Structure 1
Amino acid sequence: MKRGPYAKVAERNAGLLARIRGIKADHPFRGYRRVWAFLRFVDGVVVGKNRVYRLMSEHDLTVKPNLRLKAKRRPTGVKPRPSRPNEWWGIDMTKIKIDGYGWLYVVIVLDWRTKKVVGHYAGDQAKAWHWLSALNAAVGRQFPEGVRGGGLHLMADNGCQPTSTSFMKACRVMDIKLAFTSYNNPKGNADTERFMRTMKEELVWINEWRSPTAFYQALGSWIEEYNQGYLHSALGYKTPVTTEQELINSRTLLKKAC
């Protein structure tokens, strides 16, 4: 027979469990690692991952795997691994259903090193010049003095927008080295694809959207919050903005030392 927790243990866990329930209420798609990171680095609660996992498992708060969404991988070449900000960006698009209106398209430009969203576009069309709008916003934000000579690479899929003549010509003019994933292989742009899932889990799927204007406003606010406050395990549970600033500062100090 399985024994229940001791009364003192249950009492000690009551406050932690209540906080976990609160985090899950706001972010239902977060697993135990991300819940633990929020407790540790935002709330300042010193707690182990195993304890968080045990509590979430006992109270049915873990995220159930959906095997239908599991991607089928095949061997590919080595994915680029940037060593500095603004070395490799990824660009991709997804669509959002607005009740009573139709589909909206969101184009995201993501810095692979810092996981920062450097540019985006949202609208009811997604032609090549809409993708360029997101890219131009990113360039204006990250390269206020111009991108030429900056050694910037951009990874895209083989869709009609990034492979269009106008998009590729614009990249050549701006001296952005455009690269494409292999066919039927989203893993080549995995960082950007994973961000799209995060955006849907944290913003899109937990709300009922009935107005394009409301979604545009919410998207802009959420991206700023994401850049400023989202904790990435790949970044040592630091935020994109913090990581970017630390890397820039370290490169500046290195240049002065040389």
Structure 2
Amino acid sequence: MTTNTGTVVDVVGPGRGGRMSRQRKRDAVLRLLRGEDLESVSRSLGVTAATLSGWRDAFLTAGEASLATRPLDADTLESGRLKAKLGEMLIERELLEAKIAVLEARGPGPFGPQEVAAMSRAVSPARGKAYGLARVCRIWRMSRATVHRHLAPAQSEPSRRPGPVGPMPDAALLTQIRATLAGSPFHGEGHRKIWARLRHKGVRTSKRRVLRLMRTHDLLAPARVGAPRGPRNHDGTIIPERVDTMWGTDLTTTWTVEGQVAVFVAIDHCSAECVGIHAARRATRFEALEPVRQGVRQRFGGFAAAIASGLSVRHDHGSQYMSDDFQAELAFLGIASSPAFVRAPEGNGCAERFIRTLKENLLWVEHFDTVEDLRRALLAFREVYNETWLIERHGFRPPAAIRAAQLPPAVLAA
């Protein structure tokens, strides 16, 4: 470019899009501050003089501001923290005084959501800002969820899960659920087993929908509140892959007209099948052997030395099971003794779970005159349980179906 004076100046204009880097802007401002002519710098950079003047003013303003800023030391930071804490204390005092005034005006009792919401919108004299709902609820000891729930507009229709409800409406499905509960021979079945029984009847729906309907109409099985547990002693699992690999045995008690009666059970850990059940007036070691003997005769085809080799029996440390006679009988039959850990009932959980089912469906709902009546009822319950009780871990199939699927037809026929 040729100037009016005839000198040629190399023009280096802005980059693409009329932009210029921060370093080039800084160099241009420094040229102006060193005394170069504004017009010559403008011509050499291809930038207007107004733009250069704006850069110079911004550069000087920022430099002046940086010089006016003092570094924050530890005392300044601590002073700021104390001032903020003092402000919070003043706000808390204001809210407590307002709470006392409200109580004196309306008398003792819980605050209403309208009063809390009104105070949250009030302006604090100390800060000049609204208190806020979170701070008022915290100091007045109110639940924010309760306030929001009462202040929310009432819905004309109850909310439901979005999406289609399926081919069967809720009223018809509820009728099917009630019929399934009434037709089941067991008490205390949860929504999962009701869902499985509906599928067996040809009613296709989802578990969550069955749970929602049963919960809404108080049809769920009662749940017991568990006690806090310590560390588990058992690692791994007590559920084998095949039947007749591990059995569990335990006892419980019930009452008849003749007095207290002991009930002994033996359960297959794989299929959850009841292989033996017995009732006796006295809970002796010989009576404790009866369920095991029943299972050995039926599952192994006889009662002889080492006939049940490969089988182990899980039991607790009760005096009947730790006795010499009980242990000697297991050794004679070829059964390995597998005692659970002390004070760890989950190690014998299969027998414990069956006893709970037995109590909820027979012992706690029926009365018996004699021990013999109880024995007959126990044997009948064993057949119904093995044929119809659904096991979730086996795809909601009964224990008898698990045994039939694992053993060949010839063995089942024998």
Alpha carbons of 1:208 and 1:149: their partners in 2 closer, same or farther (altered >3 Å)? closer
CA 1:56–1:217: 2 relative to 1, 3 Å: same
Q: CA shift at 1:104, angstroms?
A: 1.6
Change (3 A) 1:210 1:39: farther
Instruction: Give the equivalent residue in structure 1 for 2:386.
Output: 227
Partner Cα separation in structure 2 for residue 30 and residue 70 of structure 1: 22
Q: Which residue of 2 aligns with 1:135?
A: 292
CA deviation string 1:143-171 (max 9, x = no partner)? 01555363000110000001001000111
Change (3 A) 1:71 1:186: farther
Higher alpha-carbon Rg: 2
Taking structure 1 as reference, are residues 23 and 205 closer, same or farther at Cα in structure 2, changes over 3 Å only? farther
Aligned residue identity for 1:158: H
Q: In structure 1, what is the equivalent of residue 260 of structure 2?
A: 103
Within the alignment, does 1:123 sit opposite 2:284 as a pair? no
CA distance in 1 between counterparts of 2:202 and 2:230 reads 38
Does the C-alpha gap of structure 1 residues 87 and 162 become closer, same or farther in structure 2, counting only changes over 3 Å?
A: same
Once the two structures are superposed, what CA deviation does each residue of 1:186-233 show, in whole Å capped at 9, x if it has no partner? 011111111111111222223344444433222211110111111100
Of the candidates 175, 183, 189, which is equivalent to residue 30 of structure 1? 189
* Alignment RMSD (CA, Å): 2.4
Shift of 1:36: 1.2
* Equivalence for 1:256: none
In 2, Cα distance between the equivalents of 1:18 and 1:208? Answer: 31
For 2:230 and 2:312, the matched residues in 1 are separated by 24
Deviation at 1:70, TM superposition (A): 4.1
Aligned with 1:87 (options 245, 248, 252): 245
The total of aligned residue pairs comes to 245
Unaligned residue ranges in structure 1 (runs of 5+): 253-258
CA distance in 1, matches of 2:281, 2:176: 39
Q: Distance in 2 between matches of 1:80 and 1:92?
A: 15
Matched, 1:179 2:338: yes
Question: Residue 16 in 1 paired to residue 173 in 2?
Answer: yes
Distance 1:222 1:237 in 2: 19
Calculate the TM-score normalised by the size of structure 1: 0.86
Q: Secondary structure at the match of 1:120?
A: strand
2:189–2:221 Cα contact (<8 Å) kept: yes
Q: Which residue of 2 aligns with 1:199?
A: 358
In 2: Cα distance, 1:71 partner to 1:229 partner: 33
Q: Which residue identity lines up with residue 131 of structure 1 in the other structure?
A: A
Letter in 1 for 2:327: M
Task: Output the TM-score relative to the length of structure 2.
Answer: 0.55
Which structure's residues are more often strand, by fraction? Answer: 1
Matched residue SS, 1:54: helix
Q: Match for 2:204: what amino acid?
A: V
Shift of the 40–70 alpha-carbon distance from structure 1 to 2, 3 Å rule, reads farther
**Residue 73 of structure 1: how far off its partner (Å):** 4.6
User: Which runs of structure 2 are paired with 1:37-116 in the superposition (5 Å)?
Assistant: 37-41=196-200, 43-67=201-225, 69-70=226-227, 72-78=229-235, 79-98=237-256, 100-116=257-273
State the partner residue of 2:377: 218
Q: Which amino acid aligns with 1:76?
A: N
Distance 1:23 1:209 in 2: 27
- Secondary structure of the residue aligned to 2:407 is helix
Residues 22-65 of structure 1, C-alpha deviations (whole Å, 9 max, x = no match)? 34345441211121122222x23212111111111111112343
- Give the counterpart letter for 2:323 in structure 1: S
The SS at the match of 2:169 is helix
Range that drifts further, 18-27 or 55-64: 18-27
Moved more, 142-151 or 45-54: 142-151
Aligned to 1:238: 397
Query: Higher relative CO (CA 8 A, sep ≥ 6), structure 1 or 2?
Result: 1
Structure 2: gaps of 5 or more residues: 1-153
| Structure 2 Cα separation of the partners of residues 118 and 209 of structure 1 | 23
- Paired with 1:116 and 1:23, the residues of 2 have a C-alpha distance of 23
Cα distance 1:174–1:213, how it changes in 2: closer, same or farther (>3 A)?
closer
Identity %: 28
Query: Aligned in 2, Cα 1:243/1:201: closer, same or farther, shift over 3 Å?
Result: same
